């Protein structure tokens, strides 16, 4: 079974993808991971990627499609999760062509629906313990003692530089301009399934499982 996880930044696609990898033996194809892996793989595509990145150029759709093709031709395990690709309509068309040329199907596109205001509140209040990785939130999950990790007692709290409102709103705008048209595209193809991305993580897992089963 091959699926696409679709949703704005911060919707929890990565978290859900990791859960599917663990529980269903699926393979997560995240563009960033594939590019990093390709650089060290020694394959022909890997050398192309390394050259482009070393020159500071943008990685083209053709390169990403080439990397996905390599993955589709390898171990298929429980199927593939496309996470972060496609991001544009031309990429969606290219992926459809690739899948049909390799005899694979796209079984579902799962849209993780989130409300902007709630997303901004969720992302911008987030900080983590730099020692153990525990995730906290200004409003919903503060440590019992300010600045001290409940789990490990560490005092090294960290915030990601891009977890601020301006940066998130910019990434959301990108999503609405370039990626959200994919929702209509896959709806028209009868492949779109939507889940509430702001529900508890366990409930989102259940909703996705219901789609896949």
Q: In what order do the strands lie in the sheet with 27-30?
A: 27-30, 80-83, 3-6, 108-113, 192-196
CB of 140 to Zn ion, least distance (A): 17
Q: In what order do the strands lie in the sheet with 126-129?
A: 135-137, 126-129, 157-158
CA distance 130 to 134: 8
131 binds Zn ion per the rule CB under 5 A:
yes
148 binds Zn ion per the rule CB under 5 A:
no
126 a catalytic residue: yes
Angle among Cα 84, 85, 88 to the nearest 5 degrees reads 110
129 binds Zn ion per the rule CB under 5 A:
yes
CB contact at 8 A, 49 and 59:
yes
141 binds Zn ion per the rule CB under 5 A:
no
Question: Residue 166 corresponds to which tokens in the numbers above?
Answer: 């301006």
In 52-186, the DSSP E strands lie at 80-83, 108-113, 126-129, 135-137, 157-158
149 binds Zn ion per the rule CB under 5 A:
yes
159 a catalytic residue: no
36 a catalytic residue: no
Given 14, 46, 125, 154, the residue binding Zn ion (CB under 5 A):
154
CB of 131 to Zn ion, least distance (A): 5
Helices 61-73/31-39 angle, 10° precision: 80
Site track for Zn ion across 86-125, x = CB under 5 A: ----------------------------------------
142 a catalytic residue: no
Catalytic option among 39, 69, 71, 87: 87
Catalytic option among 24, 76, 126, 159: 126
Residues that are catalytic: 13, 87, 126, 160, 171
Which parts of this chain interact with Zn ion (CB under 5 A)?
129, 131-132, 134, 149, 151-152, 154
């Amino acid at each position: 079974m091959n699926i696409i996880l679709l949703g704005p930044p911060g919707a929890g696609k990565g978290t859900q993808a990791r859960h599917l990898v663990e529980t269903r033996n699926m393979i997560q194809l995240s563009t960033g991971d594939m590019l990093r892996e390709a650089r060290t793989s020694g394959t022909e595509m890997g050398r192309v990627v390394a050259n482009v990145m070393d020159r500071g150029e943008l990685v083209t759709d053709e390169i990403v499609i080439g990397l996905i093709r390599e993955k589709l031709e390898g171990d298929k395990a429980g199927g593939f999760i496309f996470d972060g690709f496609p991001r544009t309509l031309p990429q969606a068309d290219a992926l459809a062509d690739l899948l049909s040329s390799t005899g694979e199907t796209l079984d579902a596109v799962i849209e993780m629906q989130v409300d902007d205001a709630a997303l901004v509140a969720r992302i911008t209040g987030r900080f983590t313990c730099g020692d153990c990785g525990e995730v906290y939130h200004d409003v919903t999950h503060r440590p019992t003692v300010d600045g001290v990790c409940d789990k490990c007692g560490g005092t090294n709290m960290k915030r990601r530089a891009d977890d601020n409102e301006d940066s998130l709103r910019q990434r959301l705008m990108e999503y609405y301009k370039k990626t959200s048209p994919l929702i209509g595209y896959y709806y028209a193809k009868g492949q779109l399934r939507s889940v509430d991305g702001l529900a508890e993580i366990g409930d989102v897992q259940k909703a996705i499982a219901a789609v896949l089963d």
